[in-house]
Amino acid sequence: MCGIVAIAGKAPVNQALYDALTVLQHRGQDAAGIVTSDDHRLFLRKDNGMVRDVFHTRHMLRLAGHYGIGHVRYPTAGSSSSAEAQPFYVNSPYGITLAHNGNLTNSEALAKDIYRSDLRHVNTDSDSEVLLNVFAHELQIRGKIVPSIDDIFAAVSGVHTRCKGAYAVVAMITGYGIVGFRDPFGIRPIIFGERDTPAGKEYIIASESVAITSVGFRIVRDLLPGEAIFIDNEGNMHTRQCADKPVFSPCIFEHVYFARPDSIIDNISVYKARLRMGETLANTIRELHPDLEIDVVIPIPDTSRTSALELANQLNVKYREGFMKNRYIGRTFIMPGQGQRKKSVRQKLNPIELEFMGKNVLLVDDSIVRGTTCREIIQMARDAGAKNVYFASAAPAVKFPNVYGIDMPARNELIAYGRSEQEVCELIGADALIYQKLDDLIAAAREGNPDIERFDCSVFDGDYVTGDINESYLAALEVSRSDGAKRKVPQGPNLVDLSNGE
């Protein structure tokens, strides 16, 4: 999962891009990058690390220009090489830079096709570089010295024809403008906004609405599945549907875990969706465990707080903060390796013993993936004196890998894969385990936007909306995403910084 942003401004955009990326930092902590354009020249800074660590004053001063794009990354296949930090650049045609959130499911075949048919070289293992070269080729075959609006949208249509999977993209065509587009299923989020200035209207495109409002823009709307937006060098905005048969199928896990609660995605308030998840989870507890004695509801910070609060209200049980979080430890879900994740749990959370001592505690988390975190936390609750420890998940059991840009591991590393609810309960050491029902989760999200035809719920039900995922694909994915494979991934060479130095 990654975060993207692009700004077409009337004044320097370096600071606004930086500020937007800090707001999107929760979507990726592995690497960050910004590229700006000034007088047909590009200025790039990208490296491994958090936004605050990658960009220093000397870098910001070099990021000149009124147009630019930015990216925060976490790796979907385990590599932490700075060679795969984004944005990526290709010189032909025009000079194009691109940043991408998602995952191409036919990336390997496309990379071969790019070399054999398009005569283009891909320098990394990143599917984002593959996508960039596909877009560049589709634009180059138009054969124009100056690309028209129709040429740019036709190139996006070409991307939709050739690329499979999930992708939300921002790209900058040097000297001509900024492009944003979304895959025909709308799996990954992308939204745009605007603001008025004395010099004229400015535009922003980003992964989440909070990145728009936090830097002083007003939200216009989400891009539709298959739709593209182009802001030309004069500041004129154009949109067009570029896919033949778009099907609205956004990823429901954005509402469970990834998105910030103050975001609005596809007209759905993430905060309200999580409140509804807490309400339906409380109903499930009443239905399946009517005799469960609960003294206190405690969330596992931070993502589950909203659901846990509403669950406690519905059950008329005390809600308490039982864990204090060290905010200088990254999200354990995206730690590269099981050992590091396990070690980080106790560094990250510390229990308040008074909230546990002698009590029947219901812990609430957004989901259970590997089971590493919840197992450690349940033991921490017992060590703090809890009488009984029950565990509730605001999401259903995660039984299948994600192929659309979330680094959910190989099937045999998912604790619920091939196991019953009771078996999972015993493995994590809980006295009771309650999962959200899938129908309830879908209803909680869809209530915010009834126009959504379906959600991608593949991690829960194994139904991959793009229709191109089979057993052989999942088997190959399992090899690349296992923790063992991640430890063997070599570190690639650093790419040259276009801003001329550190």
Same domain, 226 and 373: no
For residue 261, what pLDDT is reported?
97
Tens-place pLDDT, residues 34-53? 999 999 999 999 999 999 99
Do the domain assignments include residue 56?
yes
- Of the candidates 76, 147, 91, the residue with the CA atom closest to the CA atom of residue 123: 91
Q: Is 2 a catalytic residue?
A: yes
Amino acid occupying residue 60: M
**Given phi > 0 = left and psi -120 to 50 = alpha, else beta, which region is 371?**
left
Identity of the residue numbered 219: I
Q: What is the CA radius of gyration of the chain?
A: 23
Given 213, 247, 281, which residue is the final one in a domain? 247
Q: Return the beta strands (E) in 360-498 as ranges.
A: 360-365, 388-393, 432-435
- How far is 267 from 250, CA to CA, in rounded Å? 12
Assess contact for 211 and 23: CB atoms under 8 A. Answer: yes
Residue 39 lies inside a defined structural domain of this protein: yes
Burial bucket for residue 194 (CB in 10 Å: 0-12, 13-18, 19+): middle
CATH number of the domain that residue 423 is part of? 3.40.50.2020
Q: What are phi and psi of 151, to 5 degrees?
A: -60, -45
- Beta strand pairing status for 432-435 and 388-393? parallel
377 and 479 share one domain: yes
Please indicate, yes or no, if residue 499 is contained in any of the structural domains: no
Buried b (16+ CB within 10 A) or exposed e, 215-251: bebebbebbbbbbbbbbbbebebebbbbbeebebbbb
Structural domain that includes position 230: 3-247
Does the annotation list 47 as a binding residue?
Answer: no
Tell whether 366 is in a known binding site.
yes
Running DSSP on this structure, what letter comes out for residue 456?
Answer: B
In a domain, 13, yes or no: yes
Q: Phi and psi of 170, rounded to 5°?
A: -125, 140
State the pLDDT at residue 195: 98
Is the pLDDT at 10 greater than 50? The verdict is: yes
Q: Are residues 71 and 203 in the same domain?
A: yes
Instruction: Say whether the peptide bond before residue 302 is cis (omega within 30 degrees of 0).
Output: yes
Helix (H) or strand (E) holding 209: helix 209-213
Q: Output the pLDDT for position 83.
A: 78
Are 89 and 97 in contact by the 8 Å Cβ rule? The answer is yes
H-type helices in 366-437, by residue range?
372-383, 421-428
Q: What is the number of other CB atoms lying within 10 angstroms of the CB of residue 296?
A: 18
Mean pLDDT lowest for which of 75-89, 356-370, 388-402? 75-89
Count the neighbouring beta carbons within 10 Å of the beta carbon of residue 290.
Answer: 7
Closest by Cα among 347, 355, 345, 353 to 377: 345
Distance between CA atoms of residues 178 and 17, nearest Å: 14
Residue 62, SS3 per DSSP: helix
Which residue has better confidence, 1 or 138? 138
| Residues 301 and 194 placed together within one structural domain of the fold | no
**Residues whose CB is less than 8 angstroms from the CB of residue 164 and which lie 6 or more positions away in sequence, other chains included:** 104, 105, 106, 466, 468
pTM of the full structure: 0.92
- Residue 262 in domain: no
Q: What is the pLDDT of residue 108?
A: 92
Report CA 88 to chain centroid distance, whole Å.
18
CA distances from 274 to 142, 334, 343, 447 (A): 46, 21, 28, 11
Is residue 214 within 8 A of residue 199, CB to CB? The reply is: no
What confidence score (pLDDT) does residue 484 get?
A: 59
Do residue 226 and residue 279 come from a single domain?
no
**pLDDT attached to residue 74:** 84
Q: For the chain, report the end-to-end CA distance as a whole number of angstroms.
A: 27
Question: Averaged over 250-263, what is the pLDDT?
Answer: 96
Domain annotation covers residue 464? yes
What is the reported pLDDT for 334? Answer: 46
**Do 209 and 302 belong to one domain?**
no
Residues 6+ apart with CB under 8 A from 442: 252, 455, 457
Q: Using an 8 Å Cβ cutoff, are 182 and 226 in contact?
A: yes
83 and 200, same domain (yes or no): yes
Residue count of the chain, please give it.
502
Q: Judge whether 198 lies within some domain.
A: yes
Q: What is the largest CA-CA distance in the chain?
A: 75
The response to whether 222 counts as a known ligand-binding position is no
Assess whether 225 and 288 both reside in one domain.
no
Structure tokens at 178: 């900024």
Which of 213-222, 232-241, 368-377, 476-485 is predicted with the least confidence, judged by mean pLDDT? 476-485
DSSP, collapsed to helix, strand or coil, labels residue 246 as coil
Write out pLDDT tens, residues 141-163: 999 999 999 999 999 999 999 99
Measure the CA–CA gap between 458 and 407, rounded to whole angstroms. 13
Same-domain check for residues 73 and 187: yes
Pairing state between β 296-299 and 318-319: parallel
500: pLDDT strictly greater than 50: no
Percent of the chain with pLDDT over 70: 91
The verdict on 62 and 114 lying in the same domain is yes
pLDDT of the residue at 486: 53
What's the CA gap between 258 and 101, in Å, rounded?
13
Statement to judge: residues 281 and 239 lie in one domain: no
Q: Which amino acid is at 465?
A: V
CA dihedral (112, 113, 116, 121) in degrees, to 10, reads -60
Domain with residue 220: its CATH number is 3.60.20.10
In this structure, the answer to whether residues 213 and 313 fall within a common structural domain is no
Q: State the chain's mean pLDDT as an integer.
A: 92
Q: Which of 23-27, 201-205, 302-306, 329-333 shows the lowest mean pLDDT across its residues?
A: 329-333
Q: What b-and-e string marks burial along 52-69, b requiring 16 or more CB atoms within 10 Å of the CB?
A: eebbeeebbebbbbbbbb
Whether 125 maps to a domain, the answer reads yes
Catalytic residue chosen out of the listed positions 2, 163, 242, 374: 2
> 120-131, pLDDT tens digit by residue?
989 888 999 999
Domain end residue (candidates: 247, 278, 307): 247
Please report which confidence band the pLDDT of residue 496 belongs to, taking 50, 70 and 90 as the band edges: very low
Q: What mean pLDDT do residues 421-426 have?
A: 98
How many structural domains compose the chain? 2
Are the C-beta atoms of residues 210 and 23 closer than 8 Å to each other? yes
> In this predicted structure, what is the pLDDT of residue 345?
77
Q: Residue 184: is its pLDDT beyond 50?
A: yes
pLDDT at 249: 97
- Residues forming beta bridges with residue 170, ordered by sequence position: 99, 180
